C-alpha cells in the first residue's frame, strides 16, 4: 500500500499507456519521492492512443510534473509535444514528458536507461563496436542513444520488413549526425553476423526471443563465434538469465539482463522531472533484486 500523505501542493507524475496495471514504475518513483521527501505522487492511467490528446491536454491544464508513456502511446505522443529531445526526434518516440509551465517537452529515456545500465555493469559504450539484434521500439532507442553517446560502430540485424526500413532511415540520420558508423543487415545473413561478432565488443539482444514463456528459445545458435572479450546483454528481464546469456556465459562472456535498463530509464525520467538523482541503490534493493 502507498503510505503517502498528499496535500494541496502535491504534484502528479503519471504513466499513460494500455495496459499499465503491471507496471513497476509507480513503485520505483513513489519510493524515490518518499526517500527524497518530495511532495509528488506517481499514478498509472490506462489511456489508448485515441484518448491521448484529450488526456495530455488535461495534464497540461492540471500542471502535472510530467508523465511517462508506454505502449501503444510512445509514437502518438511524439506529435503532441511542443519540443522534443534529440533522442526523441531521432527515434520518433517519446517515453517521458516534462511539463515546463504548460510546455510539453518530449524525451526518450529508454536508450539512456540502457547506456546507464551498461555503465552500472562496468561497460562504457564510448569507442566500442556494437551489434544490435532487433529493430523495434526498444532497439531504436538503444541504437540512437549508443550512437549519440560515442559508440564507434553499430551493426543492426533484423528481418526485412517495416522495422528494418524504419531503422534504416534512423541509421541514415545517425550516420549524418553522429560520429558512429551505422549499418543495417538482414538477420538471416548469418555469415555476415558471425564475421561481425568476432570483432564486436558488445552484442545486444533487443528482440523478445527467449522471453518467458519461450525461455528455451535463443536468437543465436550454438555455432555463433562468441568469445570472452564480448559483453553480451539481453534487454529481456523475464527470465533473469536468458538462454542467450547462459550460452554466452559458457563462452566466458560477461552478461547483463534488462532489469537495470528498466530502472535507469525511470531514473533518467525522475531526474528530468525533479532535477534530482533517483536514489537508485535503495530503489534497486527494494524492487530490483
Candidates 224, 228, 237; CA nearest to 264 is 237
Q: Judged by CB under 6 A, which of 33, 42, 231, 237 binds ligand NAP?
A: 237
Half-sphere exposure of 285 (CA within 13 A, CB side): 5
List of residues 6+ apart from 227 with CB closer than 8 A:
198, 251, 252, 253
Quote the least distance from Cβ 212 to ligand NAP, whole Å.
10
Contact 70, 40 (CB under 8 A): no
Q: How far is CA 7 from CA 3, 12, 14, in A?
A: 13, 11, 17
Please identify which of the residues 53, 74, 246, 250 carries the catalytic annotation. 74
Quote the least distance from Cβ 206 to ligand NAP, whole Å.
5
**Separation between Cα atoms, residue 215 and residue 32, nearest integer Å:** 32
Does residue 74 have an active-site annotation?
yes
Binding string, 128-147, against ligand NAP, x = CB under 6 A? ------xxxxxx--------
Q: What is the dihedral of CA 32, 35, 37, 42, to 10 degrees?
A: 30
Task: Tell which positions 141-200 bind ligand NAP, by CB under 6 A.
Answer: 158-159, 161, 163, 187
Q: Judged by CB under 6 A, which of 66, 76, 106, 258 binds ligand NAP?
A: 258
224 near ligand NAP, rule: CB under 6 A: no
For ligand NAP, the closer CB: 99 or 108: 108
Report the residue closest to ligand NAP, judged by CB: 136
Note the residues at the interface with ligand NAP (CB under 6 A): 110, 134-139, 158-159, 161, 163, 187, 206-209, 211, 235-237, 258, 261-262, 265
Residues annotated catalytic, as ranges? 74
Amino acid at each position: 500500500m502507498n503510505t503517502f500523505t498528499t496535500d494541496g501542493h502535491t504534484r502528479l507524475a503519471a504513466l499513460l499507456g494500455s495496459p499499465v496495471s503491471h507496471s513497476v514504475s509507480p513503485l520505483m518513483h513513489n519510493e524515490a519521492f518518499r526517500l527524497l521527501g518530495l511532495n509528488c505522487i506517481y499514478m498509472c492511467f490506462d489511456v489508448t492512443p485515441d484518448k491521448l490528446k484529450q488526456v495530455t491536454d488535461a495534464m497540461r491544464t492540471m500542471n502535472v510534473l510530467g508523465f511517462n508513456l508506454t505502449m501503444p502511446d510512445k509514437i502518438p505522443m511524439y506529435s503532441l509535444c511542443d519540443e522534443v529531445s534529440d533522442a526523441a526526434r531521432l527515434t520518433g518516440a517519446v517515453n517521458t514528458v516534462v511539463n515546463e509551465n504548460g510546455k510539453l517537452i518530449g524525451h526518450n529515456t529508454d536508450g539512456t536507461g540502457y547506456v546507464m545500465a551498461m555503465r552500472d555493469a562496468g561497460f562504457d559504450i564510448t569507442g566500442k563496436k556494437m551489434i544490435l539484434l532487433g529493430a523495434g521500439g526498444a532497439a531504436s532507442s538503444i541504437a540512437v542513444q549508443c550512437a549519440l553517446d560515442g559508440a564507434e560502430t553499430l551493426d543492426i540485424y533484423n528481418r526485412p520488413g517495416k522495422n528494418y526500413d524504419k531503422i534504416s532511415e534512423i541509421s541514415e540520420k545517425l550516420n549524418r549526425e553522429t560520429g558512429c558508423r551505422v549499418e543495417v543487415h538482414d538477420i538471416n545473413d548469418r555469415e555476415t553476423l558471425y564475421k561481425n561478432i568476432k570483432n564486436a565488443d558488445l552484442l545486444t539482444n533487443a528482440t523478445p526471443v527467449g522471453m518467458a514463456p519461450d525461455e528455451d528459445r535463443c536468437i543465436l545458435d550454438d555455432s555463433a563465434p562468441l568469445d570472452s572479450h564480448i559483453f553480451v546483454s539481453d534487454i529481456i528481464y523475464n527470465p533473469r538469465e536468458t538462454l542467450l546469456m547462459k550460452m554466452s556465459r559458457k563462452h566466458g562472456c560477461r552478461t547483463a539482463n534488462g532489469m537495470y535498463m528498466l530502472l535507469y530509464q525511470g531514473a533518467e525520467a525522475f531526474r528530468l522531472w525533479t532535477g534530482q538523482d533517483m536514489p537508485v541503490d535503495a530503489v534497486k534493493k527494494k524492487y530490483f533484486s
